[in-house]
Amino acid sequence: MKTSNAGGTVIDEPQTRAGVAKAAAESAVELRSDASKPAVKESKIYIDGKFYSEADAKVSVFDHGLLYGDGIFEGIRFYNGRVFRLEEHLARLWDSARSICLEIPMSVREMTAALLETIRQNDLRDGYIRLLVTRGVGNLGLNPAQCKHPSVIIIVATIALYPAEIYAKGLTVATCATRRTNPAALNPAVKSLNYLNNVMARIEANLAGADEALMLNDQGNVAECTADNVFVIKHGQIFTPPIAAGALRGITRAVVFEIAAELGIKISEGDITRHDVFIADECFLTGTAAEVIPVIKADGRVIGDGKPGPISTRMIARFREITRETGTPIYERVA
């Protein structure tokens, strides 16, 4: 069935579950009729209450999320049939929305149900969720008052940000010239769709041949990497920049604090300089996509003995245990 969205684009209206199943079966028959074409399952994407195939998942060119980066997002992981730290991610999403005066057009309960159903539609037990809320369709002016209906998009996919050997050997970072956005300009605590600051830093890392970019704030202290929080270890203690330094209030970052308490390792928040990174015994990064990953070289300086250290290794092992054992069930009814 064809309908028109707010931007005038003609799209296929998704069917009921029975209809989707029938269409999928018919599609499979067509694929089997041509042995030269392998049967590839196309993912289902949630847009404003309906599910679309990848080919039909579209947003209007007048959506201010596209025109101005006016929107917010969360990256969320699920492991072994459970969504990891879902409540924390949704709380941060709502905080970001409140900060930019964006009204999310559904409740937390409804968002949870939509997110879990999107995973079920894609029949996955391990993967990554990209949850976006855009300002919605408006005119070419930047005034958000022109956007009457915010849009919710949920994409589910498998992910491998770094190859497995990087977790065993460690990665390299390079300090970039691009400074982390000053909170007085755009607070890094807001996970907005405007990620150009991070993208420019990522380009610098690519040009330097590094795996990640170390981003400083206006005071010259370490803020974070392009998509990760930073931790350094010295004399058995863990140090990380405070949120006030421009670090995102990372969900994985918070898990590291929990693990440190569990293992009896002291962890402190405080300003960190490049010098502190260079002379660290160990260093590791955390992020939803990256998880916990060791750093063995910064700006050409070898960190420690150039191998993932014992505390980093324990952190990685314990984090993996937690992700496999806890989370919101996907394939069980949530009360």
- List the catalytic residue out of 22, 50, 191, 234: 191
Coil, helix or strand at residue 46: strand
CB of 303 closer than 8 Å to CB of 278: yes
Give the tokens for residue 248.
């995102």
CB of 205 closer than 8 Å to CB of 212: yes
The CA distance from 314 to 259, in Å, is 9
The CA distance from 170 to 295, in Å, is 5
The CA distance from 173 to 282, in Å, is 13
Gyration radius of the chain's alpha carbons: 22
* CA–CA–CA angle 291, 296, 302 (5° rounding): 160
Per-residue CA distances from 36 to 24, 54, 55, 212 (Å):
19, 22, 21, 40
CB proximity list for 167: less than 8 A, separation 6 or greater: 293, 294, 308, 316
**Active site annotation includes 191:** yes
For residue 44, the one-letter residue type is: K
Cα atoms in the 13 Å half-sphere on the side-chain side of 44: 23
The distance of Cα 19 from the centroid of its chain, to the nearest Å, equals: 32
The CA distance from 285 to 168, in Å, is 14
The CA distance from 317 to 296, in Å, is 18
E strand or H helix that includes residue 124: none
Active site residue ranges: 191
